[in-house]
Amino acid sequence: MKRTAFFAIVLLAATTALSQDFQQDQQIQRFKGEPSYAAFRIGAWFPADVEKSFRLDEVSTENTRSRIEQSQAIGIDFHYQHLLGQPLYLDFNVSAWYSTYEFSSLEELSVGAIENADSWAIIFPATLGLSFHPLSRSTMQPYVMAGGGAYFAISNSELMFFETVRTRDEDQSDVAFGWFVGGGFDLLFSPTFGASLAARYQNVEFDRDLLTQQKDFSGLQISLGFVVATDF
């Protein structure tokens, strides 16, 4: 019995030692080269277009007092940086940004004039670019980036009219092409996980107003989240 217990303890110790050696070897093997990075963030986008009057009914907007509320875009962002060769990375980014617009007339107008309008838009950028990482094999990873791509938009507006039960629901789809420049900073808390901060200037303008009365979305975009280092 004692001999069996002794051999069991020896076997457990040997297995533990081999496991630790294997994990260390895996870590060494994992970081012989620079990793790629995948970041998931949330943020805000501040387009150039300022608050505008509602354009679908000139009588309601130009000759009456009204209340207008237009939000900046908020969204989620996926950013993948694939190592091409230190210090250059291929940038791939997809994201979704949500913005709203509300119009309310403060005066009672003629029958059929627009009383309220509730609108929203979602912008889906899909871009490719390059990023430059000056620090090699560091837990701190500042970088600069630039690129371009397509910006898809869907927007919707629900209209209500004075002294009628009639409403009108409109949908619109648009696409534009633009470019961006920016930078970011990743701080790794472990070999594979850390915090991520990024800022971009997006330059993009649609051919027509979205139903949120926005057309020029050029402006600063800031996002914060986490990053995962990967060999993929």
Q: Is the pTM value of this prediction over 0.85?
A: no
Q: What is the structure's pLDDT at 55?
A: 56
The rounded distance, in Å, linking the Cα atoms of 209 and 212 is 7
pLDDT band at 212 (very low <50, low <70, confident <90, very high): confident
Which CATH number is 34-230 given?
Answer: 2.40.160
Residues 8-60 have pLDDT tens digits of 444 434 434 443 443 333 333 344 567 889 999 999 998 876 555 555 555 44
Residues 92-139 have pLDDT tens digits of 999 999 988 877 665 565 545 666 778 899 999 999 999 999 987 778
Residues 132-183 have pLDDT tens digits of 999 877 788 899 999 999 999 999 988 776 666 555 678 899 999 999 999 9
Structural domain spans, the chain: 1-30, 34-230
Q: What is the structure's pLDDT at 23?
A: 38
The Cβ-side half-sphere exposure at 82, using a 13 Å CA radius, reads 7
89-114 b/e (C-beta count within 10 Å ≥ 16 → b) = bebbbebebebebbbbbeeebeeebb
Q: What is the structure's pLDDT at 66?
A: 46
Task: Give the Å distances, CA to CA, from 148 to 91, 129, 176, 206.
Answer: 10, 6, 11, 15
Task: Give the Å distances, CA to CA, from 91 to 68, 184, 188, 204.
Answer: 38, 12, 19, 18
- Paired with 200 in beta bridges are 182, 221
Q: Which two tokens stand for residue 4?
A: 């069996």
Q: Which two tokens stand for residue 15?
A: 């297995």
